[in-house]
Amino acid sequence: MARNIRELCRVWSTMTYGEGLEHLLQTETDEQLINLSRKLFNELDWYNQPIVGESIEGIRPAYEDDCDENVELSGKICFSPIYREIKGRDEYLPVAYVMDVIREFIKNKKISSKDYLAWIGRAMRTFASLIREEELEYNLNRTFSSWTTESSSDIDLNEHTDIVLTTYDGNVYNIWSYQASWGGLEKLRKKLLGEKDGIIRDGVNILVPVNTKLYGRENSNDFIYMGDNICGWYFTPGEALEDIYNIDDGKYDAYTLSYSDVISRLKKNEEFDIHMMTPLFKEVTPFVKSAS
């Protein structure tokens, strides 16, 4: 069951990372985890930092820029299962999530200590995406009570789909929520071109962008949706839900692309160019992939 993430964001914003950490450490028995968590939170200067969206800005080594998450770090961590397996700690979810990432540092000896902060930076950027996806699922369930949703780490990691939405009359839509920033568009491009692990589900796929970097305010024609800002975290606005409903209602039939259309448009420009991507994906965009 998807949680009311917007309300949780307001709860998180009333405390600091240090307060959340020390609360969770009261019941923690792993001394190595306790010591390493305190050390890394201090290095991040998080002890007095409120738990708000802006807190994840700047957690990035000098060699990583906005559109490059492919710098090789030691080891491997999958963030989606870590996030989804957290139970009973909703009021401290961002801190519990980082602590569970730090557990992975301890368990996985292939992860070098020099990469710990870089991994936390990636983890928190992924966290912003994961809570945005869960919030969208919560709002879909609330807005369309007769429709059902499904989400899981397997669907996320292996099928590039955040939410499988089934309407009351059995129509199925594969929802992709993505950040309409340079980095988010680059990841989307690689998924669509098959350059990242995972498959694209057959049927109707719906791309749902959320503008979180204010890029659209510099050029208002680039991105339709400005994300709803809740305590520094950005979420899918109501207009996008209305567009998803209109797709099911047939009002987007004339604008629905085939998967081959998407591929041909992407391949017209071999080098990634945000100005080529935004006209294609600046709003909720449906495309159909036929069974192979």
For residue 276, what pLDDT is reported? 60
For residue 217, what pLDDT is reported? 43
CA–CA dist 267, 251 (Å, integer): 28
For residue 49, what pLDDT is reported? 96
For residue 59, what pLDDT is reported? 76
For residue 109, what pLDDT is reported? 87
For residue 68, what pLDDT is reported? 47
For residue 279, what pLDDT is reported? 62
List of residues 6+ apart from 255 with CB closer than 8 A = 285, 286
For residue 275, what pLDDT is reported? 60
Q: What percent of the chain has pLDDT over 90?
A: 65
**pLDDT beneath 70, residues of the chain:** 60-71, 212-225, 269-280, 292
For residue 60, what pLDDT is reported? 62
Neighbours of 210 (CB within 10 A): 24
Exposure pattern of 130-162 as b/e (b: 16+ CB <10 Å)? bbbbbbbbbbbbeebeebebebeeebbbebbbb
Torsion of CA 85, 90, 95, 98, to 10 degrees: 20
For residue 56, what pLDDT is reported? 86
For residue 287, what pLDDT is reported? 95
For residue 168, what pLDDT is reported? 93
- Contact criterion met (CB below 8 Å) for 13 and 52: yes
* CA-derived radius of gyration, the chain: 19
In the block, residue with structure tokens 């017209």 = 268
pTM greater than 0.85 (yes/no): yes
Domain limits, the chain: 5-129, 144-289
Q: What is the pLDDT of residues 214-258, one digit of tens each?
A: 444 444 445 556 789 999 999 999 989 999 999 999 988 888 999
Helix (H, G, I), strand (E, B) or coil at 75: coil
